[in-house]
Amino acid sequence: MSTGSTPSRTFTLASRASDLAQAQTNGVRDTLAAKHPTKSFATSFMSTGGDANKTQPLYLVGGKAFWTKELEVALQENAVDVLVHCFKDVPTTLPEGCEIAGVLERPDPVDVLIVKKGAPEAWRTLEDLPEGSVVGTSSVRRVAQLKRRYPGLVFKDLRGNLDSRLSKLDAPDSPFTAIVLAKAGMVRLGWGDRIASDLGPPTLLYAVSQGALALEIRADDVATRELCRSITHWQTEWSCYAERALLRVLEGGCSVPVGVHTSLVDETPEGAKEGERKARLAITGCVTSLGGDRHIEHTIEAEVRAVEEAEAVGVRLAKLLIDTGAKEILDEINADREKKVELAKVTDEKVDV
């Protein structure tokens, strides 16, 4: 059991090997080192199933564990101490013996539009794009919501790391006019100048926990938990846990069109202790059919005094969505996905023969 630390212990932070993941992990390492100058920190980077398979649509390759499984094996085997995740890629249920010990402050979580290099300067928003323009994204959430508002655009699957997606967009023979990405990743890599426009609510509600970084540890590692808690932004933590509770009840994954928008206003009295925090939480959630023709959206606002109360608000919102039509949409999406998975299995077997 890793229940304490010694003067010689080095805390190893690990993540995927993409440029974005490395930049995020190095940033967390530097934040911890500045907060704890007497501690030693190292980094480790590895490939996951999500990095190896960049061609199949996400609904064919499993849930969010597709991005985290190899990392969690290393964590459980004591090879590393902290996993630095994009929180939106973390399953709402973790492996036994693992826990989220910290959540860093979230920047603007909205999606953004990136237009092909050399495109007319006037093409700054989705409204500006000519009818029939091809917009790339791997997210069914984005496609479902955007089809509602932009039926004249064509949405095509596009996977890969940020740099490879930008390269595919800008290639001379690219079919894409534009792509949609999360703003936080573009900014973290210093590519904010490529952003043509933000795609925030009401146009597009973002993914659960989008933009936030989560720190996963072994549940018995007290020393590492203390380090992670020291850099946790509780407002982001409460907001993300409300969003994740919503998704958990809806039984959604990375390929389910569930969108959210959350605001949390700190109303803690001056001089209050940590256990006396108070905030005003407002969370909007939506479920959209794949064709964009049906859209269920609701908002709940409540005063919360603990992360558990924030989660309870997310659960309430999920049940409200389910009771007003979201269940039928999700059942149809799941049934459609199962058919496609079975078809892919049959196709693979024929190819293997």
Domains 111-199 and 234-353 share a fold: no
pTM for this entry: 0.88
Residues 19, 30, 81, 89: which is the catalytic one?
Answer: 89
* Residue pair 148/292 in contact by the 8 Å Cβ criterion: yes
DSSP 129: S
- pLDDT score, position 138: 87
Split at pLDDT 50, 70, 90, the class of 7 is low
Q: Which residues contact 309 (CB under 8 A, 6 or more apart)?
A: 302
Whole-number mean pLDDT of the chain?
Answer: 90
Split at pLDDT 50, 70, 90, the class of 345 is low
Split at pLDDT 50, 70, 90, the class of 271 is confident
- Condensed to tens digits (0 to 9), the pLDDT of residues 154-199 reads 999 998 889 999 999 999 999 999 999 999 999 999 999 999 999 9
Point out the least confidently predicted range of 68-72, 140-144, 145-149, 287-291: 68-72
* Residue pair 99/222 in contact by the 8 Å Cβ criterion: no
Split at pLDDT 50, 70, 90, the class of 53 is very low
Give the CATH number of domain 234-353; options: 3.30.160.40, 2.60.120.10, 3.30.420.10, 3.40.50.2300: 3.30.160.40
Crossing angle, helix 19-35 and helix 222-230, to 10 degrees? 90
Would the pLDDT of 255 be above 70? no
Domain boundary assignment for the chain:
1-105+212-232, 111-199, 234-353
Is-catalytic flag, 193?
no
E strands in 104-175: 111-115, 134-136, 154-156
- Condensed to tens digits (0 to 9), the pLDDT of residues 69-93 reads 889 999 999 999 999 999 998 988 8
Tell the CATH superfamily of the 111-199 domain: Periplasmic binding protein-like II (3.40.190.10)
Any idea which architecture 1-105+212-232 has in CATH?
3-Layer(aba) Sandwich (3.40)
Q: Which residues contact 20 (CB under 8 A, 6 or more apart)?
A: 161, 162, 185, 188, 189
Would the pLDDT of 52 be above 70? no
CA distances from 90 to 112, 215, 285 (A): 22, 10, 19
Q: Which residues contact 294 (CB under 8 A, 6 or more apart)?
A: 288, 325, 329
Crossing angle, helix 162-170 and helix 19-35, to 10 degrees? 140
- Closest listed residue to residue 86, CA positions, set 106, 72, 69, 101: 106
- Condensed to tens digits (0 to 9), the pLDDT of residues 304-342 reads 999 999 999 999 999 999 999 999 999 998 888 778 777
